[in-house]
Chains A and B, each alone.
Chain A
Amino acid sequence: MSSPWSRTVSRRMLCLLTAGGLALTLAACGDGDNAAQTGGKVKITVTGQPPTSQPFERGVFDADVKEFEASHPNIDIDPHEGFMDPKTFSAKLAGGQLEDVYYVYFTDPAQIIARHQAADITEAAKSVPHINDIKPELLDNFRDASGKLYGLPTMNYTMGLLYSKPLFQKAGLDPNKPPQTWDEVRDAAKKISALGNGVVGYADYSKNNQGGWHLTGWLYSMGGDIARKDGDKWVADFDNDKGKKALQYLHDMRWTDNSMGAKQLLEATDVQRMMGSGQLGMYMAAPDNVPVLVKQFNGKYEDYGIAGMPGGEGTLLGGEGYMVNPKASPEKIKAGLEWIQWKYLNPDRFEKHIQQYVDGKQPVGLPAEPTPDVWTGAVREQQLALKAKYANVPAQNFQSYVDTTSKIKGSIEPPNAQQIYAALDSVMQAVLTDQNANIDQQLSSAASKVNSVLAQVK
């Protein structure tokens, strides 16, 4: 039988072990970079692996990793699920957990570069094949003021007008002749909402920075701008006739025509749900929305069309790319660039990649995946020819978009885009939720907010 003393000792031991275990666990948490280079192999962690809930995309990604590793025996890819999550980005970086190659939206590089959170790849990128065939304005999105390069674009979209062909038909509109001007959009929206039963003619975002993002699209479409360079400084450039015109359209569609529905404070998922359930006629979107609508709502590709951006004076360019961890070694940077180029920017694999989509019964022929629209010149021609050859969705539904995109000016997002979008959200909300909103006052108040954001741009 054990004595009380030995029981105390064993209890004490237990406590010590608990505390020791805890300390060890915490110490293990702080363990950052591990054996990255063993036996001459470079191991890199990369983001962009699709979640298991998207089995096709995941399968393609995993197969690509295997194929890459087979053809690059000196590189080990450690794929991580997920894309850009601003909520965890800085914490991962601080804790040494940020992947070596990480995904970013076009809205983020400027801030990431300003905060020194990406590696300078100017020299290393010089050896990337076909880098000169990438649209220069997209590469510029990853450069700092002195021209140094910090990332590579891997996807690009421009805004257009996504519309429901069945609702166009029901409203007596020609589904093969989508609206080309905002006046035509307004007319079509009126006719569609006249169908009743809660059908909305046109919807737009106004929440979680997406309102500001779309207002930027509106302004670009009217030849306007959000910010312009004034000497060394950036200043707001929307408190003018063009800004007023854009907001007046939205206000009149919402309140005079009642063609935007009563429910506002919408974001992308709300609007996609409305479109997917057949309750919405039109919204401003990029072509990548079409597969989302078809897959999530069991829709048909035939039912959706995309027109070029109404207004015809310009459109908003967006997209995504990859940047490299600033703490990565030169070997890792080199391996990371090889992966990005091989996987995303590889004209030699266009056909194979398209074939993967064809075999998986995925859409080919949309102005979106499977090959990124980041190319110019001969590479772009090669890509378009291959997509046309394998097309399995009605390409004519997107012809207006393709024709317009090549004609109008595409502008990238303003610097410190997310902060500016947050400020512009309230302007969108004002005109869409308050019939008596004072547009002039809204614009001037937003301009002062945006100017204070732009004053921080380095």
Chain B
Amino acid sequence: MSSPRSSSLLAWPATSSSRAGRPAVSQEDRRRTRLKRKIKENLTAYGLLCAALVVFALFSWYPIVRGVLLSFQQVDFVNAPTWVGFDNFAKLFEDPLFGVAWRNTLLFTGLALVFGFAVPFLTAVLLNEIRHAKAFFRLAVYLPVMLPPVVTALMWKWFYDPGPGLFNSALGAVGLPGGQWLDSSGTAMLSLVFVSTWANMGSTTLIYLAALGTIPGELYEAAELDGAGLWKRLRHVTFPQTRFVLLVLLLLQIVATMQVFTEPYVMTGGGPDDSTVTVLLLLYRYAFVYNDFGAASAMSLLLFVALGVFSAWYVRLTRKADQS
């Protein structure tokens, strides 16, 4: 018995545009048949994909669209929402905390980059260098990631306690004066950055380690033969070879740190003197303390737009740098 493919080849008439005696229509037909077969073969995958798409549409995309609509509406969840134009945005701009929250968030992001970007990279380089007990040190670095964020925050709250907390007790034991840590508007944000860096550096370090593992050993050997020291090896081999991972992680970290919430919510409640009120904390207050979902959605839309614009600009910039 002939295959469907061969029978279709016989059935289609030749055309003037045919090459090597093969009619173009039959080529088209072959393409269609191939497509049909492929669709049939992957039907299960498409079915599962559809279910996933439905879930995404309902639980991810619909809330996003609804959020955008809410930011232009006043809602009480009893009567139909009323359109208020840009009133919610105007309300936000009038709130004296709005500017403070953005300033604090940018400060947190800046500080988190200094520590959260550099420290894991250096840790990864060190972990990559050591020869013995590698697995132990990797686990030790990753352990904090396994703690739930709220537990981490509460634990550090005790570390920072200006009375009998761990840090001040340790400082007191060696005769040094204790700090105010979270209780001073000068140090509160920095204290939160430390917590965030400590809690999240495990994952970042592992990604760096994986990237470092892909660098061919010959490059280091060649560099060493050329007399390159640690810094020169880092500068001329490690950085260029891990550049892509570094750039992607930098972007991810900025996007993540701009959304900081758990640490200020649990540890300082935005204080002292509003020095740790972040965009997400203010958004949370609008939504769940003031029950103003319109203003909260407007705030999240602003954050979304800011991060979207930043990400697009960043990707463009890195692509340009790559091309040059």
> Is residue A267 within 8 Å, beta carbon to beta carbon, of the partner chain?
yes
Evaluate contact between A433 and B184: CB separation under 8 angstroms. yes
Evaluate contact between A433 and B44: CB separation under 8 angstroms. no
Which of B46-76 touch A at CB < 8 Å?
A: 47-48, 50-51, 54-55, 58, 76
Q: Mark A235-276, 1 if CB is under 8 A from B, else 0.
A: 000000000000000000000000001111101000000000
Which of B140-193 touch A at CB < 8 Å?
A: 161-164, 178, 180, 182-185
With A263-B162, A265-B269, A425-B269 in contact, is A11–B183 under 8 Å at CB? no
Q: Which one, B91, B184, B273, B291, contacts A115 given CB within 8 A? A: B291
Residues of B within 8 A of A456 (CB): 91
* CB of B244 to closest CB in A, whole Å: 37
> Is residue A426 within 8 Å, beta carbon to beta carbon, of the partner chain?
yes
Residues of A within 8 A of B78 (CB): 93, 115-117, 326-327
Evaluate contact between A15 and B48: CB separation under 8 angstroms. yes
- A-B residue pairs in contact (CB < 8 Å), sample of 26: A8-B43, A11-B44, A19-B51, A19-B54, A22-B51, A22-B54, A22-B55, A86-B289, A89-B291, A90-B77, A90-B291, A90-B293, A111-B291, A207-B269, A209-B289, A262-B162, A262-B163, A263-B161, A263-B183, A265-B269, A265-B271, A426-B274, A429-B271, A430-B272, A433-B184, A452-B95
Residues of B within 8 A of A209 (CB): 289
> Is residue A309 within 8 Å, beta carbon to beta carbon, of the partner chain?
no
Q: Mark A72-92, 1 if CB is under 8 A from B, else 0.
A: 000000000000001101100
> Is residue A132 within 8 Å, beta carbon to beta carbon, of the partner chain?
no
> Is residue B194 within 8 Å, beta carbon to beta carbon, of the partner chain?
no
Residues of A within 8 A of B236 (CB): none
> Is residue A376 within 8 Å, beta carbon to beta carbon, of the partner chain?
no
> Is residue B116 within 8 Å, beta carbon to beta carbon, of the partner chain?
no
Q: Mark A262-301, 1 if CB is under 8 A from B, else 0.
A: 1111010000000000000000000000000000000000
* CB of A44 to closest CB in B, whole Å: 18
Q: Which chain B residue has the least Cβ–Cβ distance from A89?
A: B291
Q: Mark A400-432, 1 if CB is under 8 A from B, else 0.
A: 000000000000000010110010011001101
Evaluate contact between A449 and B97: CB separation under 8 angstroms. yes
> Is residue A51 within 8 Å, beta carbon to beta carbon, of the partner chain?
no
> Is residue A12 within 8 Å, beta carbon to beta carbon, of the partner chain?
yes
Residues of B whose CB lies within 8 Å of any CB of A are: 40, 43-44, 47-48, 50-51, 54-55, 58, 76-79, 91, 94-97, 161-164, 178, 180, 182-185, 268-274, 285, 288-291, 293
Give the docked Cα–Cα distance between A289 and B47 (Å): 58
> Is residue A355 within 8 Å, beta carbon to beta carbon, of the partner chain?
no
> Is residue A382 within 8 Å, beta carbon to beta carbon, of the partner chain?
no
Evaluate contact between A433 and B183: CB separation under 8 angstroms. yes
Q: Which one, B96, B163, B180, contacts A449 given CB within 8 A? A: B96
Q: Which one, A198, A422, A429, A452, contacts B272 given CB within 8 A? A: A429
Query: Interface SS of chain A: helix, strand, loop or mixed?
Result: helix
Give the docked Cα–Cα distance between A326 and B58 (Å): 28
Give the docked Cα–Cα distance between A18 and B76 (Å): 35
Q: Which one, A265, A326, A419, contacts B289 given CB within 8 A? A: A419
Q: What total of chain A residues lie within 8 Å of the partner, measured CB to CB?
A: 50
Residues of B within 8 A of A430 (CB): 185, 272-273
Residues of A within 8 A of B164 (CB): 198
Residues of A within 8 A of B185 (CB): 429-430, 433-434
Residues of A within 8 A of B269 (CB): 207-208, 265, 267, 425
Give the docked Cα–Cα distance between A433 and B185 (Å): 8
Evaluate contact between B182 and A116: CB separation under 8 angstroms. no
Give the docked Cα–Cα distance between A326 and B274 (Å): 37
Residues of B within 8 A of A11 (CB): 43-44, 47
With A90-B77, A433-B183 in contact, is A26–B272 under 8 Å at CB? no
Evaluate contact between B290 and A426: CB separation under 8 angstroms. no
Q: Which 9 A-B pairs have the closest CB atoms?
A: A15-B47, A94-B77, A207-B269, A429-B272, A433-B272, A115-B76, A262-B162, A429-B271, A93-B77
With A26-B58, A418-B290 in contact, is A263–B77 under 8 Å at CB? no
Evaluate contact between A434 and B43: CB separation under 8 angstroms. no
Residues of B within 8 A of A264 (CB): 183, 272
* CB of B57 to closest CB in A, whole Å: 11
Residues of B within 8 A of A8 (CB): 40, 43-44
> Is residue A169 within 8 Å, beta carbon to beta carbon, of the partner chain?
no
Q: Which chain A residue has the least Cβ–Cβ distance from B268?
A: A265
Evaluate contact between B271 and A452: CB separation under 8 angstroms. no
Residues of B within 8 A of A86 (CB): 288-289, 291
* CB of A32 to closest CB in B, whole Å: 12
Give the docked Cα–Cα distance between A23 and B51 (Å): 10
Give the docked Cα–Cα distance between A90 and B288 (Å): 9
Evaluate contact between A117 and B273: CB separation under 8 angstroms. no
Evaluate contact between A452 and B183: CB separation under 8 angstroms. no
